[in-house]
Structure 1
Amino acid sequence: MATLTDHSGDELTARQRAVLDAVLALMVERGGAVTMTAVARRASCSKESLYKWFGDRDGLLSATVRWQASKVRAGNYDRTKLDALALRDSLIRFAANWLGVISSPTSIALNRFAIGEAAATGSNLGAIMLANGRFAIGERLKPVLDAGREAGLIGFDDTETAFRSFLGLVGRDVQIRLLLGDDLALTPAEIERDAARATDQFFTLYGTAPTAPGRNKTNA
């Protein structure tokens, strides 16, 4: 998991992480009604502590986004001993992890809130979400893709394009359907299946070896 810090640059304490969980809980319950007062009340701390730890409301929201995004991570792998099966497993772990996070009530509420705030004059939440969410997640997975290319297991010209292709295969229309209120319930087994299918489709597109995972498979 990525190292998270507070406003001063110190690593977050368990108490501060509990505050961020309180922010996410408020978003699920109240949508956009997230104020420093409401957070302080829910987290049983003072507003002074919130300002000390996170600076201001934008700082608190930025930390909340980073905290939620930190739950998305790639599987462990040894770059010096990477083979096709290890790469596939790492990508599946990332895909399943990401699907589980974006389909959670907290992520749905956070993204809905960010979309609503993005159109508001003077709001920085859209930029905060991009920087600490999607872009940060990309920087977490791209080294895995680059390691696969260096090992000769996958081939592509541009890492960002390959990452976007993988994310599209994994996410499909799931996130937009959830944001629009579709009652789409993904079980752990379905998430694992979808993650494996997307990874095999990615190998079909980018795999370099005839025997790479995903070759000669029917990917529905």
Structure 2
Amino acid sequence: MLHSVPDIDNSEALTERQQAVLDAALRLLVEEGDHLTMTAVARRASCSKETLYKWFGDRDGLLTATVQWQASKVRVASVGGKGLDLASLTASLERFGSDWLKVISSDTSIALNRVAVGHAGSGKDNLGAVVLENGRFALAKRLKPVLEAGRQAGLLEFGDAEMAFRTFFGLVGRDVQIRLLLGDRLELTEATIGGDAVRATQQFLALFGAKTGPQGL
């Protein structure tokens, strides 16, 4: 069972103090990996363990919140089918792709995912499920409405939103995440990430862009 923690898909749901605590937890994950403890986080963040338990429940709850905090950095523009044009749809997809690449290539995300992979199937905790539920699956729930809006506006053609999302996700990420997890030192500069997001969006629109209609591609 996933732990109940603050809903932080929107970072405004967290106080600055809570954000600082989660940033401290993420830094510790980079430094200590699997050895992260509530005591260490409390010490690094200069707060009491009682405060951590009040905010996040326990270690799994804290880890859940850190995953949500990382995922919240991937912005998804709010779009509506009415009046949506190709330029705004393209910009939304490019921003999502760029943000996601920045997040997964950060030292904190690499460390967090390495711990999650190491725990998967081990029975130690449910961190793997936490990362899936609050990372990849949560991002799908946030981007699918954008894809649906694009379909309703006659800009996109697809039969299944999940399939369309997985295609876009794959075009953006390619083999980047697995290479980073395995220690490959990819040079992902701001310009490289931006270019990759643009390329992935163009490829996605070539596959799913509407071929007919007044707003056809």
TM-score normalised according to structure 1 size: 0.89
Task: Select the structure with the greater relative contact order (CA < 8 A; seq sep ≥ 6).
Answer: 2
- More deviation in 118-127 or 167-176? 118-127
How many Å apart are 1:12 and its aligned residue? Answer: 2.5
- Which residues of structure 2 form unaligned runs of 5+? none
Give the aligned partner of residue 30 of structure 2: 28
How many Å apart are 1:77 and its aligned residue? Answer: 3.9
Residues 55/212 of structure 1: CA separation in 2 closer, same or farther (3 Å cut): farther
- More deviation in 204-213 or 41-50? 204-213
1:1-220 alignment runs, 5 A limit: 5=6, 11-209=13-211
Q: CA RMSD in A?
A: 2.1
How many Å apart are 1:27 and its aligned residue? Answer: 0.7
SS at match of 2:114: helix
Q: Which amino acid aligns with 1:128?
A: V
Give the aligned partner of residue 218 of structure 1: none
Distance in 1 separating the partners of 2:214 and 2:192 = 23
Taking only the aligned residue pairs, the percentage that are identical comes to 64
Distance in 2 separating the partners of 1:12 and 1:117 = 28
Distance in 2 separating the partners of 1:86 and 1:65 = 28
Does the 8 A contact of 1:203 with 1:212 survive in 2? no
Does the 8 A contact of 1:73 with 1:140 survive in 2? no
Q: How many residues align?
A: 208
Q: Which amino acid aligns with 1:82?
A: L
Does the 8 A contact of 2:79 with 2:149 survive in 1? no
Distance in 1 separating the partners of 2:56 and 2:214 = 46
SS at match of 1:153: coil
SS at match of 2:149: helix
Distance in 2 separating the partners of 1:37 and 1:142 = 39
Residues 60/185 of structure 1: CA separation in 2 closer, same or farther (3 Å cut): same
Distance in 1 separating the partners of 2:186 and 2:43 = 33
How many Å apart are 1:80 and its aligned residue? Answer: 2.3
| CA deviation string 1:132-167 (max 9, x = no partner) | 111001111000000000001011110000000000
How many Å apart are 1:120 and its aligned residue? Answer: 2.2
Does the 8 A contact of 1:73 with 1:137 survive in 2? no
Does the 8 A contact of 1:99 with 1:170 survive in 2? yes
Distance in 2 separating the partners of 1:11 and 1:186 = 30
How many Å apart are 1:79 and its aligned residue? Answer: 3.8
How many Å apart are 1:121 and its aligned residue? Answer: 1.2
Distance in 1 separating the partners of 2:194 and 2:93 = 11
How many Å apart are 1:119 and its aligned residue? Answer: 3.0
Distance in 2 separating the partners of 1:211 and 1:199 = 21
Residues 49/80 of structure 1: CA separation in 2 closer, same or farther (3 Å cut): same
| CA deviation string 1:103-150 (max 9, x = no partner) | 111111111111112232141111111111110011110000000000
How many Å apart are 1:212 and its aligned residue? Answer: 11
